[in-house]
Chains A and B, each alone.
Chain A
């Protein structure tokens, strides 16, 4: 049993899912769902259809070259069965998957950091441009202080009058 890759979206095709098409040059195409089959029949190029993994990898939006991805490459030489090797492989698969997820997530995080920086610069530019719409934090403080002083003086005068 093998989990194949969909030709169009590169998603996993589990047993019992999807369909297969054999072209006259004997090349077989596996698809995970009818969405991919319909797009294929429309002769769309997966490297240009934005939601596919093929596009994302070719456009540099996802991790392409990495040691953890080497494990997934297909090898055409069969390996002699060895129980310990099998068990170790299962353990290794779990660990490799963990590392791969972290690295992929890290790649995307780094890619999106630039966006945050640009956002900040944009915000600064916007403020600079529209500074005339913003009230300065110290605006009106001097008037407020003056009023307060006047009020204080008034109160002192009233107090003085009372005492007299």
Chain B
């Protein structure tokens, strides 16, 4: 199991994933916001998933507990294999977001799946700061 020390490490687990992102999953913040990148002794965790069935897929909003505060975030990739034409990522990636949907950071270096464009909802600002697409 991943031991989050003063700098949160990602230990790669090789077991298959059952449900994408739910409460208590540890996520990886991929933008360049200070809240997402400053080290803390506990990894950022999902405490609520804003979807009908409490399972978070790409494009769903979640509530994160980071550095002792609550913050909303957008899921941009998960380890669970989804539809065949969407990429599977090696970590559960998340982008910090404000309540109105504006991203907190200014750049996203990690590849973002292109099917986010076609999804319902206003992701234009997040897509605008992304540098590469997959």
Contact = CB atoms under 8 A, between A and B. Distances in A.
Interface string B105-134: 000011100000000000000000000101
A22 B76 CA distance: 12
Given A26-B110, A26-B111, A26-B132, A21 B85 contact: no
A69 interface: no
Contacts of B54: none
A19 interface: yes
Give the secondary structure class of B's interface.
loop
Contacts of B10: 24
Given A24-B10, A26-B110, A19 B132 contact: no
A22 B84 contact: no
Contacts of B90: 21-24
A40 B84 CA distance: 17
B85 A28 contact: no
Interface string A15-27: 0101111111010
B89 interface: yes
A24 B81 contact: no
A22 B85 contact: no
Interface in B1-22: 10
Nearest to A16: B85
Given A28-B111, A28-B134, A22 B89 contact: yes
Contacts of A22: 77, 87-90, 111, 134
B91 interface: yes
18 contacts: A16-B85, A19-B84, A19-B85, A19-B87, A20-B88, A20-B134, A22-B87, A22-B88, A22-B89, A22-B111, A22-B134, A24-B10, A24-B91, A26-B109, A26-B110, A26-B111, A28-B87, A28-B134
Given A19-B87, A28-B111, 14 more contacts: A19-B81, A19-B84, A19-B85, A20-B87, A20-B134, A21-B88, A21-B90, A22-B87, A22-B88, A22-B111, A22-B134, A24-B10, A24-B90, A26-B110
